[in-house]
């Protein structure tokens, strides 16, 4: 059963790992996507080794040429990955050493512990920027739906009960606020990733005279002024998985936002609301009921958010109670991260795709927003303007609503005498309150849904998302 000694660490072993152990412990099936970052890291590390004179520039160049050739092979799908070599790091190093004898010096002053931490930090910088771009694209699509429907009003909801009228643009801008926070969060995580682990070694650095700052600069782990940023404690460097958790958290929270947006769309697309029509291209039919058009992209956005939360939970549990520093458990840190990256990216693309094909049913929106009861609060404000304390005004308008219900008429259809009887503060101009345009235009303050504010927000978002 036992295989021959493992080439990279087999020196002290008399028997290689069992077949089952190889299957159990390999990670190359999923960490090989780190190859470009691993090679980038190895090139920088060997450049540093040459810089401080541990290897010659000739050796460095041979290593670089070999790594470039391997990367080209990997990208062309021609590289043979071997699970017996455990992970991406050893696969690449072995292939390199077979071709370039000088590569036997590559792993000087380096451990897979600081190597994998470096690969992942490079990955996070890349992944966060990509996700930020995808979220930006989704935001732009939502903004264009708002632009196409600038004059459309819908009821805003609390408790899923019609509450107060708003421009649909105002509702869509709320999505932009959520997504813009997500985008900023991804960029923040990218900043947190911007510290170079190489040099921490396995746990306690190295006795060799390496130059960590040189490597950091080579890899772009620098601040805005170009100064190198290196991690400050070798033990923390190889034990720390905060970034994984932060990244998964950013993805999970984005997923929660996507899910809430999706739920609105599902409701709006139902016959009961009929505010929107979703694009056929992001819906599916029923195998049994021919009339059905199901909002599957939105339902999956809702579903994927569970998965994104699960990944965060996996990582938190993985790290909890783990003694310092590196433990092999930590190899399990990658599948949830990669899954969150892939799925969050898909979610952002699907939000964009779905919104790009949305059409609003203006008639249904207009009908829904016409209910004068949505302006009951404005009626209370009317009394407040006449000096009535708000609590008293609220109570009086409540009575107006009750009487209208009893008489079976809409709020604005009540005879003035009835209204006057309820509160002496009501004057004959009380019905003016139910003019929707007037009601909206009175909402002037920052963040309110009045037309002047919505216009301002359009300008703000157009600038922000340009």
Contact window for ligand ARG (CB under 6 A) among 73-81, 328-336, 417-425, 443-451: 328-336
Are residues 229 and 212 in contact, defined by beta-carbon separation less than 8 angstroms?
no
Q: Is 27 in the site for ligand ARG (CB under 6 A)?
A: yes
Non-local (6+) Cβ contacts of 129 within 8 A are 186, 187, 190
Asked about 395 being catalytic, the answer comes back as no
Q: Is 259 in the site for ligand ARG (CB under 6 A)?
A: no
Contact window for ligand ARG (CB under 6 A) among 181-189, 288-296, 325-333, 350-358: 325-333
One residue of 105, 110, 112, 212 binding ligand ARG per CB under 6 A: 112
Q: Is 119 in the site for ligand ARG (CB under 6 A)?
A: no
- The alpha helices in 294-333, defined as continuous H runs, are 296-319
62-101 residues in contact with ligand ARG (CB under 6 A) are 87
**Nearest-approach distance from CB 249 to ligand ARG, in angstroms:** 21
DSSP structural state of residue 159: T
Beta bridge mates, 166: 154
Of 243, 11, 212, nearest to 127 by C-alpha is 243
One residue of 46, 97, 113, 118 binding ligand ARG per CB under 6 A: 113
One residue of 116, 261, 348, 376 binding ligand ARG per CB under 6 A: 116
* C-alpha dist (Å) from residue 283 to 134, 279, 307, 353: 21, 7, 21, 11
**How far is it, in rounded angstroms, from Cα 384 to Cα 382?**
5
CA angle 60, 46, 337 (to 5 degrees): 140
Nearer to ligand ARG, 107 or 112 (CB): 112
**Nearest-approach distance from CB 212 to ligand ARG, in angstroms:** 19
Are residues 73 and 36 in contact, defined by beta-carbon separation less than 8 angstroms?
no
* C-alpha dist (Å) from residue 87 to 96, 111, 399, 401: 14, 13, 72, 70
Of 167, 149, 166, 174, nearest to 359 by C-alpha is 149
Of 116, 346, 151, 90, nearest to 241 by C-alpha is 116
**Nearest-approach distance from CB 28 to ligand ARG, in angstroms:** 8
One residue of 331, 340, 343, 354 binding ligand ARG per CB under 6 A: 331
Asked about 159 being catalytic, the answer comes back as yes
Task: Identify the active-site residue in 4, 270, 286, 441.
Answer: 286
Nearer to ligand ARG, 29 or 57 (CB): 29
**How far is it, in rounded angstroms, from Cα 361 to Cα 105?**
68
One residue of 244, 326, 355, 382 binding ligand ARG per CB under 6 A: 326
Sign of the torsion formed by the C-alpha atoms of 338, 341, 343 and 345:
negative
Contact window for ligand ARG (CB under 6 A) among 109-117, 269-277, 303-311, 398-406: 109-117
Q: Is 37 in the site for ligand ARG (CB under 6 A)?
A: no
Contact window for ligand ARG (CB under 6 A) among 110-118, 277-285, 289-297, 391-399: 110-118
Pairing of strands 161-167, 153-158: antiparallel
Task: Identify the active-site residue in 159, 234, 297, 441.
Answer: 159
Contact window for ligand ARG (CB under 6 A) among 222-230, 265-273, 287-295, 322-330: 322-330
Q: Is 26 in the site for ligand ARG (CB under 6 A)?
A: no
Report cis status (omega within 30 of 0) of the bond before 325: yes
Q: What does the binding site for ligand ARG look like in residue numbers (CB under 6 A)?
A: 27, 31, 87, 112-113, 116, 326, 328, 330-331
Which residues are catalytic, by number? 159, 286
């Amino acid at each position: 059963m036992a295989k021959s000694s493992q080439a990279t660490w087999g020196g002290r072993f008399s028997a290689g790992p069992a077949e089952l152990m190889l299957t159990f412990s390999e990670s190359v099936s999923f960490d090989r996507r780190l190859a470009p970052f691993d090679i980038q890291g190895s090139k920088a590390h060997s450049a540093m080794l040459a810089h401080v004179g541990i290897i010659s520039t000739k050796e460095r160049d041979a290593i670089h040429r070999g790594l470039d050739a391997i990367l080209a092979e990997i990208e062309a799908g021609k590289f043979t990955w071997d699970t017996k070599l455990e992970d991406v790091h050893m696969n690449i190093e072995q292939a390199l050493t077979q071709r370039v004898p000088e590569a036997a010096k590559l792993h000087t002053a380096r451990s897979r512990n600081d190597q994998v931490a470096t690969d992942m930090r490079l990955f996070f910088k890349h992944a966060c920027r990509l996700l930020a771009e995808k979220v930006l694209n989704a935001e732009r699509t939502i903004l264009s739906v708002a632009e196409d429907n600038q004059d459309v009003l819908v009821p805003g909801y609390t408790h899923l009960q019609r509450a107060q009228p708003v421009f649909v643009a105002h509702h869509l801008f709320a999505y932009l606020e959520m997504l813009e926070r997500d985008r900023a969060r991804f960029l923040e995580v990218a900043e947190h990733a911007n510290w170079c682990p190489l040099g921490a070694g396995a746990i306690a650095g190295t006795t060799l005279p390496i130059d960590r700052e040189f490597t950091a600069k080579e890899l772009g782990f620098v601040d805005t002024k170009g100064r190198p940023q290196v991690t400050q404690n070798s033990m923390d460097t190889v034990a720390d998985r905060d970034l994984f958790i932060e990244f998964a958290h950013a993805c999970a929270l984005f997923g929660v936002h996507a899910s809430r947006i999706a739920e609105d769309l599902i409701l709006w697309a139902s016959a009961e609301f009929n505010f929107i029509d979703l694009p056929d291209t992001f819906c599916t039919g029923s195998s049994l009921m021919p009339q059905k058009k199901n909002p599957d992209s939105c339902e999956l956005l809702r579903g994927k958010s569970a998965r994104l939360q699960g990944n965060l939970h996996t990582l938190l549990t993985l790290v909890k109670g783990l003694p310092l520093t590196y433990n092999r458990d930590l190899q399990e840190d990658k599948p949830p991260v990669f899954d969150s990256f892939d799925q969050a990216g898909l979610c952002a693309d699907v939000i964009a795709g779905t919104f790009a094909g949305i059409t609003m049913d203006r008639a249904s929106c207009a009908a829904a927003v016409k209910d004068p009861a949505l302006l009951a609060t404005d009626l209370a404000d009317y009394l407040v303007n006449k000096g009535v304390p708000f609590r008293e005004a609220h109570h009086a308008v409540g009575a107006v609503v009750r009487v209208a219900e009893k008489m079976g008429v809409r709020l604005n259809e009540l005879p003035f005498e009835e209204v006057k009887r309820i509160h002496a503060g009501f004057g004959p101009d009380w019905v003016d309150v139910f003019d929707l345009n007037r009601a909206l235009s009175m909402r002037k303050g920052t963040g309110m849904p009045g037309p002047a504010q919505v216009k301002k927000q359009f300008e703000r978002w157009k600038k922000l998302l340009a």
